[in-house]
Amino acid sequence: MLLLHVEPRAHEWIVRRDGADAPLSEHPDASAATRAACACAFTMAADASVLVHDRYHRVHEERPRRLNHEVRARR
Protein backbone atom coordinates (compact mmCIF):
# COMPACT_ATOMS: atom_id res chain seq x y z
CA MET A 1 0.00 0.00 0.00
CA LEU A 2 1.30 3.42 -0.94
CA LEU A 3 1.06 6.03 1.81
CA LEU A 4 1.80 9.70 1.14
CA HIS A 5 2.00 12.44 3.74
CA VAL A 6 1.21 16.15 3.35
CA GLU A 7 3.05 18.11 6.03
CA PRO A 8 3.88 21.70 6.91
CA ARG A 9 7.57 22.53 6.78
CA ALA A 10 8.89 26.03 7.47
CA HIS A 11 6.95 28.32 5.08
CA GLU A 12 5.71 25.64 2.69
CA TRP A 13 3.88 22.34 2.49
CA ILE A 14 5.53 19.13 1.34
CA VAL A 15 4.40 15.80 -0.03
CA ARG A 16 6.51 12.81 0.95
CA ARG A 17 6.31 9.02 0.86
CA ASP A 18 5.88 7.17 4.13
CA GLY A 19 9.31 6.57 5.66
CA ALA A 20 11.13 9.03 3.38
CA ASP A 21 12.79 12.21 4.56
CA ALA A 22 13.11 13.92 1.18
CA PRO A 23 9.91 15.47 -0.22
CA LEU A 24 8.41 14.43 -3.54
CA SER A 25 7.17 17.99 -4.03
CA GLU A 26 6.84 21.36 -2.30
CA HIS A 27 3.84 23.71 -2.41
CA PRO A 28 2.85 27.17 -1.12
CA ASP A 29 -0.27 25.95 0.72
CA ALA A 30 -1.94 22.84 2.12
CA SER A 31 -4.63 22.69 -0.55
CA ALA A 32 -2.13 22.62 -3.39
CA ALA A 33 -0.05 19.99 -1.62
CA THR A 34 -3.13 17.84 -0.94
CA ARG A 35 -4.25 18.03 -4.58
CA ALA A 36 -0.76 17.07 -5.75
CA ALA A 37 -0.52 14.18 -3.29
CA CYS A 38 -3.95 12.83 -4.29
CA ALA A 39 -3.15 13.08 -7.99
CA CYS A 40 0.19 11.35 -7.46
CA ALA A 41 -1.31 8.62 -5.29
CA PHE A 42 -4.16 7.99 -7.74
CA THR A 43 -1.74 7.37 -10.60
CA MET A 44 0.75 5.31 -8.55
CA ALA A 45 -1.39 2.71 -6.75
CA ALA A 46 -5.00 1.60 -6.50
CA ASP A 47 -4.82 1.23 -2.71
CA ALA A 48 -3.00 4.50 -2.01
CA SER A 49 -3.84 6.81 0.88
CA VAL A 50 -2.90 10.39 1.69
CA LEU A 51 -2.49 11.57 5.27
CA VAL A 52 -2.72 15.33 5.76
CA HIS A 53 -0.96 16.67 8.87
CA ASP A 54 -2.02 20.18 9.86
CA ARG A 55 -0.03 22.76 11.79
CA TYR A 56 -1.76 21.67 15.03
CA HIS A 57 -0.58 18.05 14.72
CA ARG A 58 -4.01 16.75 13.71
CA VAL A 59 -4.14 14.18 10.92
CA HIS A 60 -6.92 13.32 8.51
CA GLU A 61 -7.03 10.95 5.56
CA GLU A 62 -7.80 11.98 2.00
CA ARG A 63 -8.86 9.36 -0.51
CA PRO A 64 -7.18 9.85 -3.89
CA ARG A 65 -9.70 10.19 -6.67
CA ARG A 66 -9.70 11.24 -10.26
CA LEU A 67 -9.86 15.01 -10.60
CA ASN A 68 -12.93 16.50 -12.32
CA HIS A 69 -10.96 17.88 -15.27
CA GLU A 70 -9.47 14.40 -15.86
CA VAL A 71 -12.95 12.85 -15.89
CA ARG A 72 -14.19 15.42 -18.43
CA ALA A 73 -11.14 14.87 -20.64
CA ARG A 74 -11.83 11.13 -20.84
CA ARG A 75 -15.43 11.54 -22.05
Q: What are phi and psi of 9, to 5 degrees?
A: -145, 115
> Who's near 1: CB < 8 A, 6+ residues apart?
45, 47, 48, 49
Cα–Cα distance for residue pair 34/47, rounded to 1 Å? 17
Q: What is the pLDDT of residues 42-72, one digit of tens each?
A: 888 888 899 999 999 999 999 886 655 444 4
The pTM of the full predicted model, rounded to 2 decimals, is: 0.83
Q: List, in sequence order, every residue forming a beta bridge with 14; answer none if it has no partner.
A: 7, 26
Is the pLDDT at 17 greater than 60? The verdict is yes
